[in-house]
Each structure stands twice: as structure tokens, then as C-alpha cells.
Chains A and B, each alone.
Chain A
Amino acid sequence: MPGRRPIEPLLWLLFSTGGVMSALFAPVLLFLFGIAFPLGWLTPPDHARLLLVFGHPLARLFILVVCSLSLFHWAHRFRYTLYDGLQIKHLNEAINAICYGGAVLGTLAAAYLAWTIP
């Protein structure tokens, strides 16, 4: 199709793998750290254990992959939410810059944080 941007399939792929990642892992992590630990339903893991779990090479990779793909999922879906929900498609360049730019910055932050776990 003329006028179609060739990057669009890649963005869609990131959206869909990010959708799977966030659907699999966000509910349990939000439930534990957002609800169950703060309300005292479950005892939170102590610091040494979290260091051990997060510091494992597979966990670092997991953190980077889940955070990055989830952010690209957010970027793609939120972009269309703004287009359709608020009908502001004429602002598309600014919206794209904020959404995908935010996902790229978040990926860099995740890579840095995953890399620097002691």
C-alpha cells in the first residue's frame, strides 16, 4: 500500500509480544507488591533474597524483556486510544514521539537497572 510505513509491522509485533508478557506477569507482580505485601496478607521477601533472585542472569534478562516489551505494548495501544478516544489524530507526530520515545527511554532505564543489580 502506498504511504504505509515499513516500521508498522515491527511495532505491531512489539505490541503483541508485549501484550503477552504483561498479561502473564503483571497480575501476579501487582497483586504481590501492590496489595498482598502492603496489606500484610503475605510476608514480603527479605532484601537478601530479592538480591539473589533479581541478580540471577536469567532474572536480569527477564526484567529487561518484560519491561521493554510491556512499554512498547503501552506505546502502541495508548497511541490508538488517543487517536480514537479523543479524536486527536492530527497530533499524530507528537503522540508518536511521546509514546514510542517513552518506550525507548524506559527500555534504556530497564537495561541500566537490570545491569547494575549488585
Chain B
Amino acid sequence: MSQDAAYTPYHPRWHRTRVSTWWWLGRGSYFLFILRELSSLAVAWFVAGLLLLIRAVSAGPAAYQQFLASARLPAVLGLNAIALAFVVLHAITWFNLAPQAMVVHVAGRRVPGWCIAASNYAALVVATAVIYGLLTLTW
């Protein structure tokens, strides 16, 4: 196979069995893989929502109240619930894969995978607690 995969109109044809566009529906693990990959759309939705919130807060109390009111619309609530499920799936699959992606050595010995996963989950708990406290607790 050529290294350069750029498309040309007269691309050489290799013998390949055709794979259906819906190949990922065939097996549970493939389906979960596609769900995990699709979680990136929920991440983009989260960023868009966060930026809209910041814009509303900068614009003043009335705009902020309007933002809160639009979050109560059933369609927005439904999309946010779906997005939340996807970002939780992203967080779980991401942290569970972290031991494979990060190889840490301490004093010449490899840190076991469960330690790396556990420290990632600990960071998630701390991050959640800090954001929750900054936004909801009275000080």
C-alpha cells in the first residue's frame, strides 16, 4: 500500500472486501466504541454551553436569568441529559485507559495500572468538589 493516502480520481484499486457503513452495529463492543467516539460531540456541546453562560453573565443579571430560563426548556434539558450521559461515558473510558497511555516509574519500578486509574478518579472527585463548592456553597 502506498504511504500517501491522498485521494485522486484515478486511485489504484486494491482488492478489498467492502465494509458496510453500519459495521459498528454488528457487535456490542463495536457499538460501545462508536458511542465513545461520539462523546466528542457532547464535549463540543458542553463548551458551547459554557461559553454561552459566560457571555450571559458578562451581559448582566437579566441575560443570566434568560440563560437559566432557556436551560429549563424541555428540548434543552433533554439534550443536556444526553450530553451528560456521554461525557460521563467519556470520563469513565478515558480514565480506565489512562494506565495504558501513561507508564510511570517510581524508584525504578513501574507504578501499577490501578494506581494510575485511581489517581485519575481522585482528580475527578477533587475537580467536581471544587467546582461544586465555588458555585453552590455559601461562604
Q: Which of B57, B80, B94 contacts A117 (CB 8 A)?
A: B57
- Indicate whether A104 reaches chain B with its CB closer than 8 angstroms: no
Interface size on A, residues (CB 8 A): 59
- Kindly list chain B residues whose C-beta atoms are within 8 Å of the C-beta of A61: none
Q: Are A85 and B37 within 8 A (Cβ)?
A: yes
- Kindly list chain A residues whose C-beta atoms are within 8 Å of the C-beta of B101: 16
Q: Are B7 and A92 within 8 A (Cβ)?
A: yes
Provide the bound-state CA to CA distance between A18 and B54, in Å. 20
Given contacts A1-B3, A28-B131, contact A81 B38 (CB under 8 A): yes
Q: Which of A16, A18, A28, A44 contacts B68 (CB 8 A)?
A: A44
Q: Which of A28, A32, A34, A74 contacts B43 (CB 8 A)?
A: A74
Query: Interface majority SS on A: helix, strand, loop or mixed?
Result: helix
Contact size range, B: 35 or more
- Kindly list chain B residues whose C-beta atoms are within 8 Å of the C-beta of A85: 21, 24, 34, 37
A-B contact list, 21 entries, CB within 8 Å: A20-B94, A23-B90, A26-B46, A27-B84, A32-B136, A34-B83, A34-B84, A35-B81, A38-B80, A45-B135, A53-B135, A71-B47, A74-B43, A78-B40, A78-B41, A81-B34, A81-B37, A92-B6, A106-B51, A110-B47, A117-B54
Question: Which 5 pairs between the two chains have the least Cβ-Cβ distance?
Answer: A34-B80, A90-B7, A77-B40, A23-B91, A26-B87
Given contact pairs A38-B72, A47-B60, enumerate 17 new A-B contacts (beta carbons under 8 Å): A2-B3, A18-B43, A28-B127, A28-B128, A28-B132, A30-B46, A33-B71, A34-B77, A66-B50, A73-B43, A74-B47, A77-B39, A78-B37, A84-B37, A92-B7, A109-B51, A117-B54
What is A's interface to B at a CB cutoff of 8 Å?
A: 1-3, 16, 18-20, 22-35, 37-39, 42-45, 47, 50-51, 53-54, 63, 66-67, 70-71, 73-74, 77-78, 80-81, 84-87, 89-90, 92, 106, 109-110, 113-114, 116-118
